[in-house]
Structure 1
Amino acid sequence: MRTRRTVVVLAVSALLLSPATADATPVGGIFPHSVTLTESSLEGVHGTAPDATVRNVLTVTAGGTALRVRLSNPFGGTALAVRSVWVGLQPSTDSPALVPGSNRRATFGFRRAVTVPPGGSAWSDPLPLSVRRGDHVAVSIYAPGSPIDDHTFPPPQADTPGSFQSRAGDAGADESGSAFGTFSPGVLWWADAISAVSAARGTIVALGDSITDGYNAFGGGPRWTDVLAARIGTLPPGRRLSVANAGISGNTVSVQPNPYDPAGQCCGPPAPVRLDRDVLSLPGVRYVLLLEGTNDLGGGDYAPPAPATQVIGAMRTIAARVHAAGRRIVGATILPMCNAAGSAKEQARLAVNAWIRTSGTFDAVLDFDSVLRDPADPTVIRPDWRSDCYHPNAEGDRLLGESIDLAVFER
């Protein structure tokens, strides 16, 4: 009897420590509640990593244990050669110091180093760490000479996601934080997702552009996705969900040249191109919340304004792929953009929003347009809720997050 029990324990331990995959439904039921606790989508390659350690800090949106971290090299022309990764808990973004005794050395298939080929990702083995909603998780990565796949559009607030960079060398084991410099909000290298075994019943992924990313949300408040996560986190345990933010500033919902960047390094691939990596490959995804189209309809120096049919076609394609993968999709209407009433851009926005509201393509609709538009001039966001023509301020983000009917995530 003792021998049989030992064999069973060893077999389960081996499965728990085996190289992780990005499947939403883990094989064999070993991770029946594996969900994505947080995400920060990568957008492009910007340079080569120096001989230094980057301490990425992300905030989790649900509690869990057996944490796993995903490192990605989607845009690098050469391999991401990671020499070491440490994962710990950070009490505050005011300092790179970690909670004493929380720092753990990550392994990948039981190895401390991992090589991620161009276009690839690697999940760490489960770590003996537990977190609560709102905890900051620090992922310290030492990969000198590797292409820097990053997220580099800082939100205005000094909160996560963000990172610290060390002096020369591998400083991942440093819990004191003395080897690291100041915090860079919004800047992350390679670490794009964290998952865990959780009591949360699944994950909502918010797929979007700068409005989801939190760009220009001036006023010091959280992003609308963070407001949503806080609200869902107060529900009874059986109704809770985690929220993963897959926003990239400048992103487009349709496959087209990026309006702002001919090199394709500022704003991530179009939403249909990154849908698998940034959404469907993540553990535990049950709902996708789509808020995109502003950059397509607005156009820029490198792409003309898109017609409504192009944006609608892209949204229809995304919804079909989400449904085919067995998930539900929630569509949000496009916010006002300061386009003159009757102009081609405004007519296109109104046509897309009318389609979102009435087509039946989405499992539910969030009418963000009606929440923030100015009753005196519906072509603009109300002045006290906007930072510019396209982006809500912190108060606008708060209103968006609080306007969401949580019942749409119980269907």
Structure 2
Amino acid sequence: MRFSRTAVILAVSASLLSPAVADAASAPPGPVTLTESSLQGVHGVSPDVTVRNVLTVTASGTALRVRLGNPFGASPLRVRSVWVGRQPSPGSPALAPGSNRRATFGFRHAVTIPPGASAWTDPLPLSVRRGDRVAVSVYAPGSPVDDHTFPPPETSTPGSFASAGPGDAGADESGRAYGAFAPGVLWWADAISAASAARGTIVALGDSITDGYNAFGGGPRWTDVLAERIATRPPSRRLSVANAGISGNTVSVQPNPYDPTGQCCGPPAPARLDRDVLSLPGVRYVLLLEGTNDLGGGDYAPPAPAAQVIGAMRTIAGRVHAAGRRIVGATILPMCNAAGGPKEQARLAVNAWIRTSGTFDAVLDFDAVLRDPADPTVIRADRRTDCYHPNAAGDRLLGDSIDLRVFGL
């Protein structure tokens, strides 16, 4: 079955489309967020190694800045040095010759980041194009490891290399100082921004479906598909895409269903909204796809009622609007819950509210895109990995289904 891109757009306000189209050509280059990988917890203390984090950017830009975070550490993050360069080959820690730059923080090479805080580097004399991989090499031995660790998608994978020996290996462009690639593991580095002709950033706030968990089958995540499509537009008509998905995340403030320690799945979306969304440079649109983990429940939290999920979404939308941004809501995908059962009834109620409440500036009906016409309680068999997660083909379908007019394009 094929779905037209326009068919999945249920509501687009006139205020969303007209001003964005009108101001696109006249907007001067400014700071945008080129990529993000939201930190989700703290796991131990860093040994005496350098960690070369690799993230892929979704727009072109110059004067790169990198954000390092210590949101969960109980002690300061003591960064001794940071180097930033381009990584030309996906599986190799080697950098493009001459691309590696030593970063500063207020013109100092070292920085101490208190618990709960973050720090941006000064602008670096480094340019990137959409799709480039940026390597951020951080040397911070003895510091709390604030990380993003998740089972990664098969392509466009964030990840890292750790140096094989002690000491600061950030300046090594050859990559010989580093060991094997650890897909899906990032330490401290959670965002890259730049001056860009792109006229702003879309932040996808979500859970594992946005994070890319189980998107198997040899394709990118749906957020990467969206970025690919936007890249076909003229430079001044583009937006960057930042992925703020965390596997296991909840949209409402509640105990996490899967992890009572809170280390696996990040704070609930309202608690991380400022850090992971509103504080990023250039944000114009928020795309919210959450609720599966709330409605499904787990060993440590019961299934949430529809009213709880709706209340959380309404709160997030209100805060986004108060900050002067626009928010797009996506309906919740099927979860293999029994037809007529309480979980499925709650999902249907939340989706009906998303479609009809007018809370969002626009709605993407992802449920309609992926549900099985013969059994709407499940994702189509050829588009799913399991009951909750699309495979790569499903992610491709989601990314292709988004009408770019939602973002003024």
Q: TM-score range by the shorter chain?
A: over 0.9
**Gap runs ≥5 in structure 2:** 1-27
Name the CA distance, whole Å, in 2 between partners of 1:82 and 1:341: 53
CA contact (8 A) 1:157 1:185 kept: no
Query: Partner residue of 2:57?
Result: 60
Counting only pairs closer than 5 Å after superposition, residues 88-237 of structure 1 correspond to structure 2 as 88-157=85-154, 159-167=156-164, 168-237=166-235
Match of 2:345 among 331, 344, 347: 347
1:265 aligned partner, one-letter code: Q
How far apart are residue 237 of structure 1 and its match?
A: 1.9
Q: What is the alpha-carbon distance in structure 2 between the residues aligned to residue 83 and residue 238 of structure 1?
A: 38
> Which secondary structure state, in structure 1, belongs to the residue aligned with residue 256 of structure 2?
coil
Q: Which residue of 1 aligns with 2:13?
A: none
- Tell me the percent identity: 86
1:250 aligns with 2:248: yes
The 3-state SS of whatever aligns with 1:183 is strand
358, 370, 373: which one pairs with 2:371? 373
Question: Which is bigger in relative contact order (C-alpha 8 A, separation at least 6)?
Answer: 2
Report the 3-state secondary structure (helix = DSSP H, G, I; strand = E; otherwise coil) of the residue aligned with 1:127: coil
* CA deviation map 1:208-233 (0-9, x unaligned): 00000000001121000000001001
Structure 1 counterpart of 2:32, from 20, 23, 35: 35
Provide the residue aligned with 2:276 in structure 1: 278
Which residue pairs with 1:294 in the alignment? 292
User: Do 1:159 and 1:185's aligned partners in 2 also have CA atoms closer than 8 Å?
Assistant: no
Match 1:78 to one of 75, 96, 99: 75
| Conserved 8 A contact 2:68-2:190 | yes
Confirm or deny: 8 A CA contact 1:255 1:314 kept in the other structure: yes
Alpha-carbon offset, residue 158 of structure 1: 5.2
Q: How does 1:399-410 map to 2 (within 5 A)?
A: 399-410=397-408
Amino acid at match of 1:38: T
Offset at residue 197 of structure 1 (A): 0.2
How far does residue 334 in structure 1 lie from its aligned partner after superposition? 0.1
Partner of 2:48: 51
The aligned amino acid for 1:53 is: T
SS in 2 for 1:267: coil
SS at match of 1:288: strand
- Which one-letter code corresponds to 1:78 in the other structure? S
Distance 1:159 1:205 in 2: 17
SS at match of 2:215: coil
Contact 2:200 2:282 in 1 (8 A): yes
8 A contact 1:93–1:158 mirrored in 2: no
Q: 1:287 touches 1:330 (CA, 8 Å); kept in 2?
A: yes
Report the number of matched residues.
381
Which residue identity does 1:262 align to in structure 2?
P
Task: State the secondary structure of the residue aligned to 1:131.
Answer: coil
8 A Cα contact 1:311 1:352, kept in partner: yes
Q: Deviation of residue 261 (structure 1)?
A: 0.6
The answer to whether the 8 Å contact 2:56/2:134 transfers is yes
Tell me if the contact between 1:250 and 1:260 (Cα under 8 Å) persists in the aligned partners: yes
Distance 2:280 2:156 in 1: 24
Q: Secondary structure, in 3 states, of the residue corresponding to 1:278? A: helix
* Deviation (angstroms), 1:92: 1.5
Question: RMSD over aligned Cα, in angstroms?
Answer: 0.9
* 3-state SS of paired residue (2:126): strand
Q: Distance in 2 between matches of 1:154 and 1:46?
A: 16
Q: Which amino acid aligns with 2:233?
A: L
Q: Is the 8 A contact 1:85 1:105 kept in 2?
A: yes
Once the two structures are TM-superposed, the CA of residue 108 in structure 1 deviates from its matched residue by 0.2
In structure 1, how many angstroms separate the alpha carbons of the residues matched to 2:53 and 2:37?
Answer: 11
Deviation at 1:238, TM superposition (A): 2.1
**C-alpha distance in 1, partners of 2:153/2:317?**
31
Offset at residue 160 of structure 1 (A): 2.5
Letter in 2 for 1:245: N
Is the 1:289–1:332 contact (alpha carbons within 8 Å) kept by the matching residues of 2?
Answer: yes
Amino acid paired to 1:74: P
Per-residue displacement from partner, 1:345-384 (whole Å, max 9, x unpaired)? Answer: 0000000000000000000000000000000100000011
Q: Deviations over 1:104-123 (max 9, x none)?
A: 00000000000000000000
Q: CA deviation at 1:234?
A: 0.8
CA distance in 2, matches of 1:195, 1:403: 27
> Deviations 1:277-322 (Å, cap 9, x if unpaired)?
0000000000000000000000000000000000000000000000
Moved over 6 A (4+): none
Measure the CA separation in 1 of the matches of 2:212 and 2:348.
24
